[in-house]
């Protein structure tokens, strides 16, 4: 079984400052990793994914994440946030060969003007 | 727009009732997944169908059932509803195992 830990339930950041949202996972098998964003009253939108290859993954809206196998982490970063980035961010994992997604509890990103 | 369509957007009903949530996957996607998002349980996988067949089951209650039809749309049936079933129910679809899941906007179910 897989599990995902998002230690920070809320992260306040000033506009134009950098941000890092942390995600750690646990799995006994190889995994795929994802970040999804949920804007208020909307569904989940895929930000980026790691399937294989380069450990640095670039996604939409200027976000990127780095897969670190030794630390079992997949932290999400953005060098300069905007008010429009206010949302809830979910890290998710699926075991290769098993399509079920296991989600973390989410991190609410609040941008301070 | 993810291309995944869920209806209805909102559903208000009473305890003991039965409801059906509908999902149309993205064009070409064979897999459909159902998830439940609630305040106390977070986002939980319920069930997956692939080309009409059940492929994986998660934390789905026996009062809940789903199916995928030949045109690939899927329905999630919830019966004998309880207050605790109030949640946002998401449908997602994907093309294949190695492709990410794309989510609909969800159906918000409120049990009074």
pLDDT at residue number B98: 75
Nearest C-alpha neighbor of A88 from the set A98, A69, A103: A103
Q: Give yes or no for a contact between A66 and A75, defined as CB atoms under 8 angstroms apart.
A: yes
CA distance A13 to chain B (A): 24
Q: Do B42 and A101 touch (CB under 8 A)?
A: no
Helix (H, G, I), strand (E, B) or coil at B46: strand
User: What are φ and ψ of residue A50, in 5° steps?
Assistant: -120, 115
- Chain segment A22-46, per-residue pLDDT in tens: 999 999 999 999 999 999 888 899 9
**Residue of chain B whose alpha carbon sits nearest to that of A37:** B103
Q: Give yes or no for a contact between A81 and A18, defined as CB atoms under 8 angstroms apart.
A: yes
Residue B47's DSSP bridge partners are B34, B57
Q: Give yes or no for a contact between B50 and B30, defined as CB atoms under 8 angstroms apart.
A: yes
Q: B97 pLDDT exceeds 80?
A: no
- Chain segment B53-75, per-residue pLDDT in tens: 999 999 899 999 999 999 999 99
Q: B77 pLDDT exceeds 90?
A: yes
CA distance A3 to chain B (A): 12
Residue B65, number of CB atoms within 10 A of its CB = 15
B60 touches chain A (CB under 8 A): no
A49 touches chain B (CB under 8 A): yes
């Amino acid at each position: 079984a897989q599990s995902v830990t998002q230690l920070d339930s809320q992260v306040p950041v000033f506009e134009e400052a950098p941000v890092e949202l942390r995600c750690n996972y646990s799995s006994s098998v190889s995994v795929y990793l994802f970040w999804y964003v949920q804007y208020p009253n909307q569904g989940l939108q895929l930000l980026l994914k790691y399937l294989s290859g380069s450990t640095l993954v670039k996604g939409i809206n200027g976000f990127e994440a780095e897969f670190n196998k030794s630390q079992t982490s997949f932290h999400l970063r953005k060098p300069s946030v905007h008010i429009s980035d206010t949302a809830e961010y979910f890290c998710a994992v699926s075991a290769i060969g098993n399509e079920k997604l296991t989600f973390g509890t989410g991190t609410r990103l609040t941008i301070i003007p | 727009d993810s291309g995944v369509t869920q209806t209805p957007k909102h559903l208000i009903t009473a305890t003991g009732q039965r409801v059906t949530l509908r999902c149309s996957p993205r064009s070409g996607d064979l897999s459909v997944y159902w998830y439940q998002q609630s305040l106390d349980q977070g986002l939980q996988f319920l069930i997956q169908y692939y080309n009409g067949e059940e492929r994986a089951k998660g934390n789905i209650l026996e009062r809940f059932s789903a199916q995928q039809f030949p045109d690939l749309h899927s329905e999630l049936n919830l019966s004998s509803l309880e207050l605790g079933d109030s949640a946002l129910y998401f449908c997602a679809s994907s093309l294949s195992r190695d492709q990410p899941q794309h989510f609909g906007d969800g159906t918000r179910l409120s049990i009074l």
